[in-house]
Structure 1
Amino acid sequence: MSAVIEIDTLVLEGMADDEARRAAAAFERQLQDLLNTHGLPLGKTAADINKIDLGALPVTMTAPEARGAELARALFAELHK
C-alpha cells in the first residue's frame, strides 16, 4: 500500500517554529509508518483520514518528535473507531 499524506493544519501551541517543524515531521513519519505497516482498517478509505478532527488533545510527551508521533498514533486510533 502506498499513501500520500498532506497535512492541512497542525497547531502545536507553545512550541518554537523549529520545534513545531520537527513535531510535524515526526507526525508525518509516524502516520506513514502506521499506514505502511497496518494499512487502513476494513471499510475505511484515505478520504476518511481527511475527515478526522482530533480537536484539542492533551499531549503527554515533551520532546517535539515524541509529541508529533503521539498525535499520529491518536489520529490512527481514531480510524479504528
Structure 2
Amino acid sequence: MQCLIAFELKTDKFRPEHIGQLNFYLEALDRDVKKENENPSIGVLICKDKDTEVVEYTLSRSLSPTMVAEYQTKLPDKKVLQKKMQDIFDK
C-alpha cells in the first residue's frame, strides 16, 4: 500500500475537533504532496485518553481513513511486556 501517513500526538484527551484538524492535514498532503500512484493519505491520531463512544460518533461520517489510539505515560510492568512479546513470537 503506497500512501502518506500523518501522525498527530495530542497531550490531552481526544476531542472531536482533533479529527477536523487532522483532516485538514490529510487534505493538504493529498493536494500538495501525494503522487498520482499513491493512495489517499491516512491519519493516525494518538491521544492521552479517549472515550470510545465519542470517537465512534466523531468518525462515523468521516471519509478519510483515520485511526485514534491512546498512549501511556509510563511503561507497563516488565512481566507484562515479556508476556506480550512471548505471545507475538508464539504466533
State if a TM-score over 0.5 links the two structures. Answer: no
Structure of greater relative contact order (alpha carbons < 8 Å, 6+ residues apart): 1
If the length of structure 2 is used for normalisation, what is the TM-score? 0.28
Give the greater-gyration-radius structure (CA): 2
Whose helix fraction is larger, Structure 1's or Structure 2's? 1
If the length of structure 1 is used for normalisation, what is the TM-score? 0.31
